[in-house]
Structure 1
Amino acid sequence: MSAPPIRQVVIVGGGTAGWMAAAALSRLIGNGVTQITLVESEEIGIVGVGEATIPPIRQFNEVLGIDEREFLKATQGSYKLGIEFVDWTRPGHRYIHPFGPFGADMNAVKFHQYWLKLRRLGRAADFAEYNLCAVAAYQNRFGGISPQFRNPVTQLHWAYHFDASLYARFLRRYSEARGVKRQEGKITKVHQRSEDGFIESVELESGQRVEGELFIDCSGFRGLLIEQTLKAGYEDWTHWLPCDRAVAVPCAHGDGAFTPYTRSTAREAGWQWRIPLQHRIGNGYVYSSQFISDDEAAAKLMANLDGEALADPRPLRFVTGRRKKAWVKNVVALGLASGFLEPLESTSIHLIQSGISRLLALFPDSGFSNVEIDEYNRLTDQQIGFIRDFIILHYHANEREGVPLWDACRHMDVPETLARKLALFRSKGRLFRYEDELFAEASWYAVLLGQNVMPDGYDPLVDAAPVDNIARALDEIRAMVRDAAGSMPLHADFINQHCRAPEAA
C-alpha cells in the first residue's frame, strides 16, 4: 500500500542546478497538490563553470516546452557541433570530437573498422572527414541542409553554448510562472527529525523555517544537506584526475570566425577552455596546483585570449570525485553538491539533467522506499563512473613526453573499467557500450583515434568485402558529408537571422 504523496518539495540553492530542478518539477509534477519552494540567497555566489553542453540538453528543453530560438536569445547562446582538442595528443596536433556518427555501418560491420583497414593501405582520409558535424564545424557552418544532400549519413546533431547564469534566470521565470515559490534567505540551521534523522526544515537568518518532505540539495561544493548534515561521504578521484583548480575570465570576440564548437587546448599544467557565446567568449584554465601556481595560471590564461578581457580572472577550487551516496534519507543532491568532474567533455549540466530525470523516474511518496533510493544511487554511481573513465582517457592517452603532469597521467594505473575498454580496442578496434553509458561508441572512436590509440588489427569480417568496393563507399560518404556541410549557412549568419540576442547592456 502506497504512502501519501509528497506535498512539499524544498530545493536548497539556485543557480543552474536549482532552477533546472524547479523547472522540471513544476512542469511534470505540478498537480496542485505538491508545493515546490526554492531557497537561495543573493549573498551566496554561484559557480558557472559549465557553459557548454551536449545534445541531450535539447531533450530537456523540449520536455519543458521551451522554444530553442527564444532560449538562445535569452541566454546569448550559440550552437555547438563538438569539441576541438588542441595539443592533447602532442604539441602541434589537433583533432575534433564531433557529435553524431562517423560514416555508416556496412554489412553489420562498424564503419571505423573499414576505415582502419584503408588507413593501413594509405587510402583513407582523416577520420573526421566522414562526420558531418566535424566538417561543418571546421567550415564554421550551422543550419539547414539543402534537401538534395539529406540522407542518414548527413543528419545533424547539436548542443549549445550559453551563459549559465542567464539560463538559470530564464528557468526561474519559467518556474515561478508555474507556481514555484522562491524564498530569499541564507540558511543558518538544518533541523532533523529525532526518530530517523530525516530533514524536517531549514532555518533562515531571519528565524523563518521552511519545511519540506523531499529536499533537493543544490548548494554547490559545500553540500549543505547531503554532506554537512547527513555525512554522505566523498570519494576523491584526484589520483586519476589531478587538476584541482581553475581560473575563468570572459573576453571580447577577436577577429576570428564565430565557431560552432568548443575548444580545449592542453597546457603544461592542465588545459584551457574556449566557449564562444554571442556577446563574449568564455575562457578558463583548469590546472593542477602541484605543477603551477595560481598567479602563473591566471597569467597564462590572460596571455591566451582572443580579445580584451571583460572581467578580472575568477578562481575556483575543487576536488574531483563524487558523493558516496547522492540520495540519503529524504535528500537528493544535484550538481556540484553531488560531485564534480572537470568540464572537459561539457558534462556538468548533463549530470544535473540526468539526476533530475532519475529522480522523476523514481519519484518517492512520503514513505521513501529504500529500493528506489538504492537504485537511484546505483544508477548515479554507474553513470558518473563511465564519464570519469572517458575524461581519464584524454589525459592517459597522450604523447606529451617530458612534461611532468602529462608523463604522470600517461603512466598511471587507470580504473579497471577503462583498462578493459582500452585493451579490447587496442586489439582489433572493438568497443562496446555499457549499461546506461552516456557517451556513444562514436565518441570513444573520436577520442581514441584522435589521440593516436591505433588498434593492432581490425575486425576480420572487413576482409569479406573487396578493397576497391570499400574505398568507393568511403569516398561516396566523404563526398556526401562535404556537400551537405557546404550547403549549410555560416553559423554567424544563422544566429543573426534566427536567434540574435539584444546587445548586452
Structure 2
Amino acid sequence: MKSIAIIGNDMAAWMAAAFFAVQPASHRPSISIFTGVSSAGDSLIQNPMPDFSGFLSLIGVSDQQFISACAATPTLGTCYHHFPRYEPTPGPDNCFYHGWGEYGSPLGAIEFHQLYIRAMHESMAYGLNDLSVAALAAQKNRFMPPSKDPLSIRATYETSYSFLTKNYIQLLQQICRSLAVQEDSRPVDKLLNHSGSYVIEFASGEHAGADFLVNTCPVLRHQITPYNSWQEFIPFTQVTRKNTAQAQQRLVSDVGFDHNLWRITRYATALQETTCYGLPDESVGEESADLFSGCVASPRAHQLLHLGRALINLHSPLVCEVDLIWVALRILQQFYPACPDGPSVVSEYNQRLIAAYENLRDLSQAVFIQTERKFPGTLTVINHCKISSPLQHKLDLFAHRGKLPAYENEVYKRQWQLWLLLGLGVVPSNVEPITFHLSQAEMRNVFDRIKAAVTAEVETWPSVK
C-alpha cells in the first residue's frame, strides 16, 4: 500500500488521517486528505465513553495535553430521568445516575448485583445512586480522578471527557500536519467506481486516486453504497438541536423521555447542547435514509472504507459520534495494513463492525423498551418495533435470573449493562441461590457499610464549579 486518501473535512476524516499517520509500517504510505466537500455540520459537544482514551494513546496525546488543547472537562456517565415528563433540572429522587463503574462490590463468589436483586425482592430500600462512588459523585457534582490502586475505592469507576468538536478537530489537524499529511482543498464532486477501482472526481473534471480510500461524506456514499435502515428497531427522526450557555458544569449527560420523544443534553465548558429525537406516531417514508438509524451494508469494500456519518447514523443515550468512529478505527487496526483487495479481510471487518454497531443499537432499544414498560404511554411506538434475537435473549435471561450472555464484538461492558437494566427498573424474577448464604441482617450490614464508605469518600471530593 503506497497511498491513502481521506475524503472529508469533519471529525471522522481528521481522526482517520491521524490514525493512518501514526500506524507503524515498513514503508509508510503517503497520506492525503481531500477537504473540498460539504460538511454535515459537526455536533458541538462530544461526551465519549472511557474507551476514547485508547485513541488518544494511539496518536500519542497524553491526558493533560488533551485537556489543555480541547478545554476538556471530566464526565462520569449518564443521568436517566425516571419519569414520563422530562424536566431540565432533575432532583435526586427521580433519576438514575449510571456511571462507568461498579455499584457495591462482590462478596467472594456472590455477585453484588445478585445481592441487590435479592434486596429488591425483600423490599429493602437502597437506592443505586448511594451504592456507587461515581453515581453519588455525579449526583452531588463532585469529582476526583480514578485511582490505579486496586484496593482503593477510587478504582471502582472510570472517567472520560466532555469537549467541543471544533477544539478536537484543531488538535487533530495539528497532529496530521506535523506528520506530513497532505491537504487538498479542491472541490470534490463525486466518487467513481471503474471496474472495482475507486477514484475521486473534482468539480473541475480532474481525477485523483489512491491504493486505499476513506470516505466520511454521506453524499458521496449515496452514489455507490446501499444503506440498511434500522427504522424497524429504532424509528427516530431528529427534531431539534439547541446550544445554550450552561448554568453549571455537569458530570453526566442528561437523558429524559416524554411522549415518543427523548432529549439528550451534553455539557462542555460554558456550553450545553440539547438534541431532541422523535419516534413518529405514524409510519414515515424513507425518502431520506439519513433521517433514521442505520448502517452501510458494506462498510468496507476492497479499496474503500466508509467512516463516520458516511457509515452509520445511530444517535443513542449510550454513545457519541466520536465513539462510533473510534470503534470502526479500532477494528480496522486489527487488519491494517492488509492488502486492500483481500476479500476475506473485507468480509471479516464488515462482520465485526456491523455486529458491534448492532450491539449498541440493541442496548439503545433496550433503554426505550424499559422506559415504556416502567412508564406506559411514554414511548409507545417501541411496542410495535422489531426486536433482534440477541436483544430478546438478553432481556429474557436478565428478567429471569439477572444474568447476561456475552456476545462477540460488544463495545459496552457487561457490568455497565447489568446496572443499566437494574437502574431502568428491570426486576429479575429469580435470584441466584448463593446469595442466601447471607442472612437478612448480614445483607443489611453489607449495604450499610457500602453506603457509608461511598458517602464518606465522596464528601472528601471537591465540588465542580
Could you tell me whether the CA contact under 8 Å between 2:45 and 2:266 is conserved in 1?
no
Distance 1:171-1:261 versus aligned 2 partners, 3 A rule: same
Distance 1:246-1:22 versus aligned 2 partners, 3 A rule: farther
Structure 1 counterpart of 2:170:
169
Could you tell me whether the CA contact under 8 Å between 1:23 and 1:64 is conserved in 2?
yes
Please identify, of 415-424 and 431-440, the stretch whose mean Cα deviation from structure 2 is larger: 431-440
Q: Displacement, 1:170?
A: 1.4
Matching residue within 274, 289, 294 for 2:265: 274
CA distance in 2, matches of 1:209, 1:147: 52
CA RMSD of aligned residues (A): 2.7
Could you tell me whether the CA contact under 8 Å between 1:83 and 1:98 is conserved in 2?
yes
Structure 2 counterpart of 1:362:
335
Matching residue within 303, 309, 319 for 2:292: 319
Distance 1:385-1:145 versus aligned 2 partners, 3 A rule: closer
Give the 3-state SS of the residue equivalent to 1:361 in structure 2: coil
Structure 2 counterpart of 1:487:
460
Please identify, of 53-62 and 464-473, the stretch whose mean Cα deviation from structure 2 is larger: 464-473
Could you tell me whether the CA contact under 8 Å between 2:110 and 2:435 is conserved in 1?
yes
Distance 1:291-1:160 versus aligned 2 partners, 3 A rule: farther
* Residue type at the aligned position of 2:95: R
Paired residues, number: 453
Structure 2 counterpart of 1:210:
208
Matching residue within 398, 404, 425 for 1:425: 398
Could you tell me whether the CA contact under 8 Å between 1:11 and 1:216 is conserved in 2?
yes
Could you tell me whether the CA contact under 8 Å between 1:77 and 1:160 is conserved in 2?
yes
Structure 2 counterpart of 1:228:
223
Give the 3-state SS of the residue equivalent to 2:101 in structure 1: coil
* Residue type at the aligned position of 1:198: S
Give the 3-state SS of the residue equivalent to 1:95 in structure 2: strand
Q: Is 1:262 paired with 2:262? A: no
Structure 1 counterpart of 2:42:
47
Structure 2 counterpart of 1:99:
100
Structure 2 counterpart of 1:503:
none
Matching residue within 420, 430, 435 for 1:457: 430
Q: Displacement, 1:106?
A: 2.0
* Residue type at the aligned position of 2:229: D
Distance 1:328-1:277 versus aligned 2 partners, 3 A rule: same
CA distance in 1, matches of 2:184, 2:342: 29
Give the 3-state SS of the residue equivalent to 2:408 in structure 1: coil
Give the 3-state SS of the residue equivalent to 1:392 in structure 2: helix
Q: Displacement, 1:150?
A: 6.0
For structure 1, list consecutive stretches of 5 or more residues without a partner in the other structure: 1-5, 294-315, 493-505
Structure 1 counterpart of 2:231:
238
Q: Displacement, 1:480?
A: 2.1
TM-score by length of 1: 0.83
CA distance in 2, matches of 1:434, 1:343: 20
Matches of residues 21-420 of structure 1 in structure 2 within 5 Å? 21-29=16-24, 33-41=28-36, 43-48=38-43, 51-87=46-82, 93-144=94-145, 151=152, 154-194=155-195, 197-199=196-198, 201-219=199-217, 221-222=218-219, 224-225=220-221, 227-229=222-224, 231=225, 233-254=226-247, 257-290=248-281, 318-366=291-339, 368-397=341-370, 398=372, 399-403=374-378, 406-410=379-383, 412-420=385-393
Q: Displacement, 1:416?
A: 1.3
CA distance in 1, matches of 2:402, 2:85: 22
Q: Is 1:7 paired with 2:9? A: no
* Residue type at the aligned position of 1:174: I
Q: Displacement, 1:23?
A: 1.0
Q: Displacement, 1:43?
A: 4.8
For structure 2, list consecutive stretches of 5 or more residues without a partner in the other structure: 88-93
TM-score by length of 2: 0.90
Could you tell me whether the CA contact under 8 Å between 2:5 and 2:34 is conserved in 1?
yes
Q: Displacement, 1:235?
A: 1.5
Distance 1:347-1:145 versus aligned 2 partners, 3 A rule: closer
Higher relative contact order (CA 8 A, sep 6+): 1
Q: Displacement, 1:87?
A: 4.0
Q: Displacement, 1:455?
A: 0.8
Q: Displacement, 1:58?
A: 1.2
